[in-house]
Structure 1
């Protein structure tokens, strides 16, 4: 059922019913979906709508869903992926607030009540997000609130968008959010080209335009399991998920690079301090975008942005500011061994140190921090060796032409 521009659905009903719609897309999770639905139905503040999209499941998911009778609304479609399933359900829901939940996770009983209370108390906020527990298949559903909690910092509003962009993994999964419908209507539906990272894409679009509010409590639990991921036409096993996720994430950030103005990469509080300085916002913006591209594995884009920054620096002759030095350090900082960029990237930034020696100290400092972190945290020795190897590559690149 499609929504018209005036907010009405095709049958004339309006998207203005008070309360919460919980929407779940599911595919071949008959062994898990029941625990998820039970947790949603056990809320202290019940959902006004619980819509489940059976995305062409070939197991007995349909039979499991029928057991819930009229307590849930079932939409059945041909297998099209999570984005397609959610795009089908969102326009058909009527509540003012939307929670998009996964078919293998668990809601804690006070989840919806807490989120709704925060949204109602803060009309300036577009969506709320919260902490979560992490559990595996050895944990019974009634014990998930005893498992470890994934901590989240309370990021200020001017820095929130950049925090989302710089995070290697999405720090605010949609299962832990409650979103005003008006915000979803303004940013548009999910990208159907994505079979992974569709949540990352949507959260970035929301964070770009609306304020978020953190709830400092764990209100849901993320299940870690070895089952298959993705739709039937593009599925993969748990041990293949990193490669699939990385490819889709890079699609998301390539699209972002093409659509977001360079000034938007500068946090608003920093932009206020730079507005009187010629080219300062441009310089910071290109460096910040380069850092984001490097973090997400797009090393050629990162180098292009670094070159643009260096050209601008040559034009205006202003020294590298302390804030810029911090960003340059991040270009070389290793978040984790499996997120490391290829050696050719570190050699390339090493070469740039020859013509722009001012960037060498912060680049080397970034790798020094990586190595120090690995020593302090007693991480896998491979991570430390990788930091030291990259450090040597940058140093040699700064001394020798290709």
Structure 2
């Protein structure tokens, strides 16, 4: 049996993705190093997701059902229901390669990381694409580059429960950029390790992706940055960096509002900044 301190709970939130969540779950069950817990949180699906999972996988996984409350609430519920010392997240449209857990758990343990992630391959509309240079994942203290772009991928991450207890949960008030918000809190307190191996296949291009359905993603990024600026535990230098990033993003957002003839929205976001 694996060391209890290195046992993993895998949390998979899903909403009306019966066609892909079975593939995601199968990729976890095919790991060369088994997870202790595999928990799927069915976030109010109406396509028979829960029934299909229970029929296909039985007691090898736990399926929790809730009313449709969004991905943040689903992840929070799944993590709260788990008990393993390490937590891995997997989006229901992505998959893990078979050695993902074995290699990542070893990497986290040997480096004494509180959180680490792997590299990933991107598949868009069925075709493999190369991530742009700006999406390159850094390692170590990554708060500064993370202020302008989300650089931690949920399906690639593994973290200790102690980190979650300090930095979590996901903010259920954010319909998007909830991961950006959490990772900023994490990056201000802990270095983030990077296992430089592609161990996740990330699928995109489908119509139900949050990034395609949510209008105003820039505004939610501003909310996340504002929370980071208000974070009392940031070091003074990190606080200055966060304030500068928030100011720059607000300025760009307000300029866009003015160009689109929305001066009230521009004024509102400047007021949020306190300028």
- Are 1:70 and 2:59 counterparts? yes
Q: Which structure has the bigger radius of gyration?
A: 1
- 2:158 is equivalent to residue 178 of structure 1: yes
Aligned-pair CA distance for 1:153: 4.7
Q: Deviations over 1:28-79 (max 9, x none)?
A: 1111111111111111112111000001101121232112111111111111
**Aligned counterpart in structure 1 of residue 245 of structure 2, from 267, 270, 292:** 292
Larger RCO (CA within 8 A; separation ≥ 6): 2
2:204 pairs, out of 195, 217, 224, with 224
What secondary structure, in the 3-state scheme, does the structure 1 residue paired with 2:63 have? strand
Name the residue aligned to 1:60.
48
Instruction: Check the 8 A contact 1:174/1:199 in 2, yes or no.
Output: yes
Q: Which runs of 5+ in 1 are unaligned?
A: 1-15, 140-145, 231-236, 268-284, 300-338, 346-402
Secondary structure of 2:7's aligned partner: strand
Higher strand share: 2
Structure 1 pair 289–85 and aligned structure 2 pair: CA distance change class (3 A) = closer
Aligned positions, number = 252
Alignment-derived partner of residue 264 in structure 1: 235
1:139-169 deviations in Å (ceiling 9; x for gaps):
5xxxxxx763666354443xx22221232xx
TM-score by length of 1: 0.58
Distance 1:244 1:342, change over 3 A: closer
For the pair 1:190 / 2:165, whether they are aligned, the reply is: no
* Cα-Cα RMSD: 2.5
In the aligned structure 1, how far is the partner of 2:242 from the partner of 2:78?
A: 34
From the superposition, tell whether residues 41 and 190 of structure 1 become closer, same or farther in structure 2 (CA, over 3 Å).
same
Of the candidates 117, 131, 142, which is equivalent to residue 119 of structure 2?
A: 131
Instruction: Please give the alpha-carbon distance, in whole angstroms, between the structure 1 residues aligned to 2:148 and 2:193.
Output: 19
Distance 2:30 2:163 in 1: 27
* Distance in structure 1 (CA, Å) of the matches to 2:6 and 2:257: 55
Write the deviation string for residues 179-205 of structure 1: whole angstroms up to 9, x where unpaired.
Answer: 011110111311110121111111111
2:133 matches 1:148: no
CA contact (8 A) 1:17 1:94 kept: no
Tell whether the 8 Å contact from 2:6 to 2:105 is kept in structure 1 after alignment.
no
TM-score (norm 2): 0.82
CA distance in 1 between counterparts of 2:168 and 2:145 reads 22
Change (3 A) 1:138 1:156: closer
* Alignment partner, residue 162 of structure 1: 144
Unaligned runs of 5+ in 2: 259-275
CA distance in structure 1 between the aligned counterparts of 2:254 and 2:179, rounded to whole angstroms: 24
Greater share of helix: 1
Q: 1:171 to 1:89 in 2, by over 3 A?
A: same
2:98 matched to which residue of 1?
109
1:30 to 12, 18, 31: 18
Per the alignment, residue 270 of structure 2 pairs with none
SS in 1 for 2:226: helix
Give yes or no for contact 1:130–1:214 (8 Å, CA) kept in 2: yes
